[in-house]
Amino acid sequence: MKNLFIIVFLLSLFTLSAQTAIPLSRNDFLQKVEQENVDLKISSEEVLVAKGDFRQTNAVLLPKISVSYTGISTNNPLMAFGSKLNQRIITESDFNPDLLNNPSQIEDYATRFDIQLPLLNFDGFHERKAARAKLESFEYQNIRSKDYMMFEAEKSYMQLQLAYKTLEVLQNSRGVAQENKRLAENAFNQGIIQKADMLSSEVRLLEIKNQIQYAQSSIQNISNRLSIMMNDSILKVMIPADSLRIFEAHSSLKEVSDQRKDILAMESVNEAYNQQMKADKMSFLPTLNAFGSYQLHNAEIFKSTASGYILGAELKWDILNGTKRFGKSYKSKAEFEKSKLELEQYISESRAEFEEAKRMLGDAANKLQLTSLAMEQSKEAFRVRRNRFSQGLERTTDLLIAEAQYAQKQLEYYATIYEHNAALAYLEFLTKE
């Protein structure tokens, strides 16, 4: 039994040491999120993927160069005669019909340099512009994703501040409840109150202890979320170094800007669809490409005695490719029109969201004044009832109700501070360019 008690005691010490809260300032937290957040890193990689897609379109402008080395052994009449011609070893005897029809086996080793140069590919030019617009869209989305992540980080830090403020209020209430319980026990012992009244004070104390347990769990949950945001592999319990306070609105808050990065991203997507539509239309036009080849031939491996080149240009026009190009053109036009409607709808929704956020901030400011006044009034009411209770002039239930109301009004006040600051942060996020 003694050993069991020692084990339990050591485990409790380990648990307490493992749950030691680590101070975390707002600026340090936001900086770590900006540098280490995994979602932001994923967004940056998506930009690199789009940049890779764009660089592939350089093929529309730059030549394609390849080198090959080929060795063959053949007695095919045509191939054998052609190989001798490439090696430039033809003699008069090679025109003997018997030799032409039944040639001996011949070997040919060829080094070949090929180049292809696009000259006019109208559809490719527009596909390149579409890829460029897509890249810009991902770049804007990356910036906006960072803005949103910083807003979420700001809000999560404020939630941690509120959780600790809630715990502080509840701990103060626990102290008051313990004192009320002591007064109730004294009054019961003196025969001033009934046992039911004394038990009510004990029930109130248990309620507060239960609320404290929930508040501590909330702190741990929020701390874990903050650790994940910072890409911290070890989940720790955080304590905010900055206290919960009321933020003031900046005078720079205006309307939703057309230069907001998510709106610019939508515009870039629209431009990408526009360029793709033009590319599909231009696919009906001919293409012009230049090509060249330089060859070295010999009957022995890794030697070259004969060379030759080919230069040319190809004008190609696919007159009809079933109805595939018509279908692609029809589809790309519909996608372009759809993206225009989506852009208009997104801007309208963003402006409506901004107006709603302004009203939310105004409501929170009004609520802040009311909850502050209610907290002061409940504090004074509790003070009066407690003085009267100590003199035997108030019932226990009235005292407990007054104490509960005071604690509730404090929680409402601090929750309203969070609502106000969160609404302000959201409004700044909506108006950020």
Which residue positions in the chain have pLDDT lower than 70? 1-19, 250-253, 322
Give pLDDT tens digits for 134-170. 999 999 999 999 999 999 999 999 999 999 999 999 9
The reported pLDDT for the residue numbered 252 is 61
Domain that holds residue 378: 19-62+121-286+324-431
Structural domains in the chain (count): 1
* pLDDT the model gives residue 10: 35
In a domain, 298, yes or no: no
Q: Which residue has the tokens 């890779």?
A: 52
- Check which CATH number belongs to the domain holding 42 and give it: 1.20.1600.10
Q: Is residue 227 part of a domain?
A: yes
Is residue 138 assigned to a domain? Answer: yes
The total of other beta-carbon atoms located within 10 Å of residue 193's CB is: 22
CA distance 273 to 126: 10
Q: State the pairing for strand pair 22-24/238-240.
A: parallel
Specify the amino acid at residue 276: Q
Separation between Cα atoms, residue 224 and residue 238, nearest integer Å: 8
* In a domain? residue 44: yes
Do 106 and 74 form a contact (C-beta atoms < 8 A)? yes
pLDDT for res 14: 38
Q: Is residue 278 part of a domain?
A: yes
Residue 275 · residue 253 · CB < 8 Å = no
200, 402 in Cβ contact below 8 A?
no
The residues pairing with 321 across neighbouring beta strands, listed in sequence order, are 323
Q: Is 344 within the bounds of a domain?
A: yes
Q: What's the whole-model pTM score?
A: 0.82
Does some domain include residue 268? yes
- Does residue 89 sit within a domain? no
pLDDT at 2: 39
